[in-house]
Amino acid sequence: MTIAYQVTDLQISGGPSWINSDRFNIDAKAERARTNDELHAMLAHLLEERFQLRLRRENRQESVLALLVDKGGPKMPLHDPEDKDYPPFGGSGGRGADGLMCPGLDGRNVMMNYFAFYLSRVLGQAVIDRTELPARYDVKVQFAPDGARMIGPDGQSVLSPDCPDITTALPKQLGLKLERTKGPVEYLVVEHAEKPADN
């Protein structure tokens, strides 16, 4: 549901208790290349059909992080608008000058609303897109997630102390920034769900 409706776990409530514990395998494939938005809509339709899922949407004004363009402008390479391949966002990593790890995110052919959603999942707080950037970009950013501890077999940290936090990394690497503000956060309330019959 978090992927289909582009919300975090904290933005979903209601429904029978089994939706928090039971697990199901879903095997589905689009007939042709689709955008991320189209795939999300298709997954939502599948969930609604198979689970007899009925949702109520609520918007609440809350403290959020706004994703904005920094004063120097965006530093991300534009992606070819003719490319219809929309791979999923993924984790990536590199190494600092000391040779230790610096984790990050890597996305290709990404719109900023989807990047904001992905940051919401990584940061555990709602991030809303206020960049007003309409194009698709290749996004690669390295940063140390808050509270991250990466320990090697010898019990020593393998996370580079040179790895910046997200608020430092975004302006330097992507020309973007995060600012705390108030904004609308969408919540989903599950009003009805049924376990699907076996295929």
Reply yes or no on whether the pLDDT at 103 is more than 70.
yes
The model carries a pTM of 0.76
Distance of CA 171 to the CA centre of its chain: 19
Report the Cα–Cα distance between both ends of the chain, in Å, rounded: 20
- Of residues 64, 69, 60, the one with CA closest to residue 182: 64
Q: What share of the chain is helix, strand, coil (3-state, %, to 5)?
A: 25, 35, 45
> In which residue are the tokens 């549901």 written?
1
Q: What's the pLDDT tens digit per position in 6-27?
A: 888 888 999 999 988 888 888 8
Each domain of the chain, given as residue ranges in start order, spans 2-192
pLDDT of residue 61: 93
